[in-house]
Amino acid sequence: MIFRHKGSKRIGRSLAVAPLAVVLLGFTCSFHIRAAFSPDAIARSVVLVTAYDRETDEWRTGSGFVIHSSGLIATCYHVVAQAESIRVRLPDGRTYSAQLVGADGVRDIAALKIPAYGLVPLRVGDPNKVNYGDKVYTFGYPFPSIMGADLIMTSGAVTGWRSYHNTRIFQLDLQVNPGNSGGPLLNEDGEVIGIVFSRLDPWIFLVLTGEIPTGSIGFAMPITHLQYTLGVERYEIFSRRVPSPPAQTPTTPSPAPTAGSLTIVSGLANLEPAAVGIALQTFHGWWGTRLEFDVYASGPIETEEDIEAIAAGLAYLLGPRILGIRPYIGVGFGWLYARTFLGADFKWGILIVRFEGVFSWSPDPHVNGRLLKLGIGLGW
């Protein structure tokens, strides 16, 4: 509206045009939100996650969502931790066995892989652009054993941020119930900005303070922390628009999959102490590579004259990670040999113990044949 001291016609025209402008502006804004935020489209990417825990003989339930068309699913680590069996049910009813391919126990996030392709992933947003009072949404399967495995959408607002294991997390005025863990937190553009993982338990609050909290208080982990649990897919998922969060040092060790390992004892040849070497191995989700140097001898290596051959090469490995164990198969080529591998890495913290059977083809008799390899090293 424009105010003038002289002439009433200009004021009249402004008053007449203003309501029309407001109506048009409101129509435009509402149309934009409907076009960007489509609950039906988002629902096609939200899944039900169930995990069987042998120790408790119970099935845990939670939510998850598609983050890559190749079958990658994001969820909470506490839903699938130490699970013997993990299942993922898509909204169309298809159910798949899932494998844990990445996890961060400190921040309670995990990545699963199912043998399904052509899935529609949710778009990733920027949690650093969230402000106080921003409206947010979450989708999930609350109380599936009591109320049925139906997908439910709830809405609320961002009320602030909290510190959780040196990580800045969202505090939400939003209903979070058992079964919602692992569901996506979305902004008004339909982009994932977080993973819902916890709530303020009113009963614990009552015991500790003697008061019952009013309202609903939920918490979500910013989506950017998920990228450190993924393999090469993270470059496609997070390179579009989300910057990396500042580097932070966790206060406790994370059970994330091995990204790399350094084996300081390479192995035994023909069940004799005849091969000693070093190997640098890296894994990215399912696949990995290894650069290896081995020294062979006819007996214990005591002097330079005992050394019969030196073999060096590059190996390609393929295998899933199942909790603390990664079984794998592989093939390697290098100076003096061609090889196939069959082995497994056992990881406790940063310690790795490696058992491996190797079949080598080489013109050098000390390198050729079957090898049983044992390794002790460090992983990160």
Q: Which residues are catalytic?
A: 78, 108, 181
Q: Across the strands, what pairs with 51?
A: 60, 86
For β-strands 325-335 and 337-348, DSSP reports them as antiparallel
d(CA 230, CA 203): 36
User: Of 66, 134, 131, which is closest to residue 96 (Cα–Cα)?
Assistant: 66
CB 266 within 8 A of CB 279: yes
Contact residues for 203 (Cβ-Cβ < 8 A; gap 6+): none
Instruction: List the beta strands (DSSP E) in 131-217.
Output: 135-140, 152-164, 167-173, 184-186, 192-199
Q: How far is CA 166 from CA 79, 80, 127, 134, 226, in A?
A: 22, 23, 17, 23, 16
**What are the two backbone dihedrals, phi and then psi, of residue 10, each rounded to the nearest 5 degrees?**
-60, -40
- Classify residue 80 by its DSSP letter: H
